[in-house]
Amino acid sequence: MSIATLLSQSRGEDRCADIIDMSAHQTALDLTIALLAHQRKKFSKRLYANGECHFCGEDIAHANALFCDSYCCEDYERLQKQKEISGLM
């Protein structure tokens, strides 16, 4: 028997391969879960037209509009970026 064969048997190299495979599988699973959570979080941030400005709450004449004017839209986007930077989102 060679030294390499003895070392591989004593170290349990076959068992290590299984552990490495399980670790790689777990890492891929964790990554998939994180990506799905990110996509769900991104989807939940989507705004829908409800007849009111999403920033100030005023009624909007246009049925498909999200904000009453460009100022509210800019203020809303700025606030969302600040929340994201500060970790509140």
Question: What is the secondary structure of 28-43 as a DSSP string?
Answer: HHHHHHHHHHHHHHHH
Confidence label for 9 from pLDDT (cuts 50, 70 and 90): low
pLDDT (0 to 100) of residue 18: 85
Tell me how far apart the alpha carbons of residues 58 and 9 are, in angstroms, rounded to a whole number.
74
pLDDT digits (tens, 9 = 90+) for 54-75: 999 999 988 889 999 999 999 9
Amino acid at 87: G
Tell me how far apart the alpha carbons of residues 34 and 44 are, in angstroms, rounded to a whole number.
15
The encoded tokens of residue 26 equal 């777990």
Entry pTM: 0.50
Q: Are 68 and 56 in contact (CB under 8 A)?
A: yes
